Amino acid sequence: MIEFDFAVVLAQWPMLLRGLGLTVVLTVISAVLGALLGTACAWARLHGQPVLRRVVGGYVELVRNTPFIIQLFFIFFGLPSLGLRLSVEVACVLAMVLNLGAYACEIVRAGLQTTPRGQLEAAMSLALTPWQTFSRVVLPPALARIWPALVSQIIIVMLGSISSRTFRSFESYIIVTVVYLLLAIALRQLLYWVGPRFIFVSR
């Protein structure tokens, strides 16, 4: 019969808190950079030159069709063979950014493609530049439409950062699962609050 001993794991709470703090920092950095990369890639796939569209398309397909753990292993273990050594934190951020960027690209692109033609014609009639049209007319309402999907992808990337080692593995997995569940719920609620107030104007 299995006997649980959570006290042994909880006694290591400083290490758990450090891990939680690191997860939050990595997620925030990766979410911001990944969303920006995804938005840039979405624009490139819709309005870029043919060569740029093919390059971005290849990147998106490569990332979306390979496991995240393989991408992380390639960055951390493969790049040093090419002379590029990264710390664990930098390698993790890079992998999370590239992974989120690829998925965010398709999410944002779907939102951009649903922009009503009338909005574009109104922007042209106001003599807005292409950048003004994209940043002020097209992107904000597109983000509002795809925000739940983008938030879900950020949560998935955050959950992919799980890494632990302990003698009481089963109890640790339970505690880590509960912590990540609470963190995912808190992050989802925070992003739902931040989006309409600072990222796009809710209607």
Asked if residue 80 is part of any domain, the answer here is yes
Closest of 25, 27, 35 to residue 200, by C-alpha: 35
- Write out pLDDT tens, residues 94-126: 999 999 999 999 999 999 999 998 888 888 888
**CA–CA distance, 122 with 5 (Å, rounded to integer):** 65
Positions in the chain whose pLDDT score sits under 50: 163-168, 202-203
Residue 167, pLDDT score: 41
Asked if residue 127 is part of any domain, the answer here is yes
Q: Are 34 and 157 in contact (CB under 8 A)?
A: yes
Residue 166, pLDDT score: 39
**CA–CA distance, 141 with 95 (Å, rounded to integer):** 29
CA angle (39, 45, 50) in 5-degree steps:
145
**CA–CA distance, 190 with 203 (Å, rounded to integer):** 19
16: domain CATH number?
1.10.3720.10
**CA–CA distance, 143 with 116 (Å, rounded to integer):** 14
Q: Are 156 and 108 in contact (CB under 8 A)?
A: no
**CA–CA distance, 200 with 203 (Å, rounded to integer):** 9
Whole-number CA gyration radius for the chain: 20
Q: Within 10 Å of residue 175's Cβ, how many Cβ atoms?
A: 19
Asked if residue 89 is part of any domain, the answer here is yes
Asked if residue 116 is part of any domain, the answer here is yes
Per-residue b/e over 60-84, b at no fewer than 16 CB within 10 Å? beebeeeebeebbeebbeeeeeeee
Residue 101, pLDDT score: 97
Residue 198, pLDDT score: 86
Q: Are 27 and 157 in contact (CB under 8 A)?
A: yes
**CA–CA distance, 5 with 101 (Å, rounded to integer):** 40
Asked if residue 1 is part of any domain, the answer here is no
Closest of 162, 172, 171 to residue 27, by C-alpha: 162
Asked if residue 83 is part of any domain, the answer here is yes
User: How many domains does the chain fold into?
Assistant: 1
Residue 158, pLDDT score: 87
Range of the domain at 148: 6-199
Residue 96, pLDDT score: 94
